Chain A
Amino acid sequence: MNGFYPIFKRELLAYFRSPVAYVFIIIFLAANAGCTFFLGNFYDSQQASLEIFFLFHPWLYLFLIPAVGMRLWSEERRSGTAELLLTFPVRLTTTVFAKFFAAWVFIGIALMLTFPMVLTVYFLGSPDNGPIITGYLGSFLMAGSYLAIASCTSALTKNQVISFILSVNICLVLVLLGWGVLGDTLNSVFPVWISDFVSQFSFTTHYEAIRRGVIDLRDIIYFVSIIVIMLMLNVVVLESHKAS
């Protein structure tokens, strides 16, 4: 893993050197609060829990995470720094993972800044700690999966807009596969196992389980494998760009 740390550090720093970090964090926090209090009617639920807060994360991430990830490789390729970065004595896999982890940690920081929500529910009542902890864990893992997809699509093109649109669409499909409406439609035509099978591929299905406070190894393996597969694909995309 030679070279992992300096690349990780530079990448993370790059977020905070540009307005991207601040704009993202502000919008992320505002959107979270907006969804929880207005769309989710947090106060009407009369519950001291973060269930409503976590409920909207798959939809929020759909736009916010590709916005963070779209520059990962497009920017390097557009500005020519890819030629510098990829001629250092570092394995391509290491570079891809280092850049990914930097962006993931950045999203983790934004997620941690939602701590006033936790304080709010503790102030309002005595919430169950379990679902709060697993909710954050699930949300962070899911964010990683979105990000790995965005990283991979960003390697496909020099154009950040194309990279953004591609990853939003791929993520949307993975969210919708577990959407209740789709499941009902499938059930009306096919046997139930088909919709069960299809929903196993979805972010939502696995995220729901974790966010309810159940840590099942299968859900964690799902997110980790999406991350690993997408990043390996990312390596392949970069390799094939170099060859042609």
Chain B
Amino acid sequence: MAFQMGEETRTFPITWDVSANKYKIESRGLRILTEGMKDKKIRGIRCHECDTVYIPGPFYCRKCHIEIDEVVEVKDTGTVMSFAVDMADIRGNPLPEKRISAMIKLDDCDAWFIGTVENMDWKDAKVGMRVKSIWVDEPQGKFSDIDHFEPI
């Protein structure tokens, strides 16, 4: 016998006020990164044991589990490790223009940034391609200071 759904039960719509939450985050590495971005510099933290460079940097090495504090500056060029071509927004609505969103490993560091790659046809995008950061004219110390990446 096929399953028959029963009578509709009552529904009570609610909203959840996320602003009631006050999250604390590890912010020293984030501050070092965003402060540097005001001068178009990208800075992270290097582990003196395993040489891993984190951006934004935590003040402990996630591999060695030791405290680390060496601030290093890395290049704003990098390599595409993987990418996706966005065709819909976060709610699934189609985007007017297809957009390459890439995981980019910046030179001299181990962290994979996510950023959009522009000024190229998405069909030409490849894992391993080289890209550079395109900065805004007047950086504010925010992630949006890097407007996008472009192929080198």
Same complex for A and B? Answer no
Q: Which residues of A contact B (CB under 8 A)?
A: none
